[in-house]
Amino acid sequence: MSATIHTDAARRHDFCLLFDVADGNPNGDPDAGNLPRVDPETMQGLVTDVALKRKVRDYVDLTCGDAERFKIYVQSGAVLNAQHQRAYTALDLTSTGAKQKREDVDRTRAWMCENFYDIRMFGAVMTTGVNCGQVRGPLQITFARSSDPIVPLEVAITRVAITREEDAAVSIGDDGEGTGGKQTEMGRKALVPYGLYRAHGFFSPHLARQTGASDEDLALFWQALQGMWDLDRSAARGMMACRGLYVYSHANPLGNAPAHRLFERIGVARRDGVEAPRAFADYRVEVDDATMPEGVTLTVLEG
């Protein structure tokens, strides 16, 4: 058995990612004043697939962004049509006119896949103005959900610096006494005391062939899932870390077992006597790897 079977882009891979947060906000909800996202029926915490892919993109950009094949398409400050224009310029094609030629779109789509890591892996819709077509990525990630209900907190904070000059000014009355002048300003900070989250993902070798995703790309993705937390530190995030990464690799590109059956082999439960989890040690993670389905190999990269 190869030690790098989990990086084989010609295989199907299903994976489970465990990560946790302590005293931080893993993914704010703009519809709820940036409070941590929750399922309102169960109060389990949620982290979107988009938030997870943002961390992967940032990791790749910081570690490999200068390399030719590892540019990032969706990043802060980027204008997408300007990104598309790079393909037309590189291939000496014209993007002007009411509609780009079909063969030009095909060539520019291939160029974008070759040069942008996140297009090659996650796909992209590039039909906005400067048309580079659409790409369905081989790698898909679900929302992450916490194992237990979380308690979204919003705590008050104070700041000694005043925002506006007029708020800091002191008025002197007829009696010579000063009035007004704020000494502090109030703010709010959202956090989760603790949450252990679980997300699932899938890699399709058929779509990988179409986008040109390689073994190197897949190996970089696994590295990102383990290391991206240390590159995304901020006061708002608290303490976040990868707590488990389990990759099921299939001998058959179509799969040797249903993904949901494989994921059911990973059990996460609170330890006896723990009422309010506040650390990863408060959980027990059990993986059934004794009788794996024929043609399926489990690789534990973290956990």
pLDDT (0 to 100) of residue 1: 39
Tens of pLDDT along the chain (303 residues) come to 356 899 999 999 999 999 999 999 999 999 998 999 999 999 999 999 999 999 999 999 999 988 889 999 999 888 999 999 999 999 999 887 667 789 999 999 999 999 999 999 999 999 988 999 999 999 999 999 999 999 999 888 888 887 777 777 665 555 555 455 677 777 788 999 999 999 999 999 999 999 999 999 999 999 999 999 999 999 899 999 999 999 999 999 999 999 999 999 999 999 999 999 999 999 999 999 999 999 999 999 987
pLDDT (0 to 100) of residue 164: 79
Task: Please give the model's pTM, rounded to 2 decimal places.
Answer: 0.91
Instruction: Give me 171's structure tokens.
Output: 């008025």
pLDDT (0 to 100) of residue 188: 84
pLDDT (0 to 100) of residue 172: 54
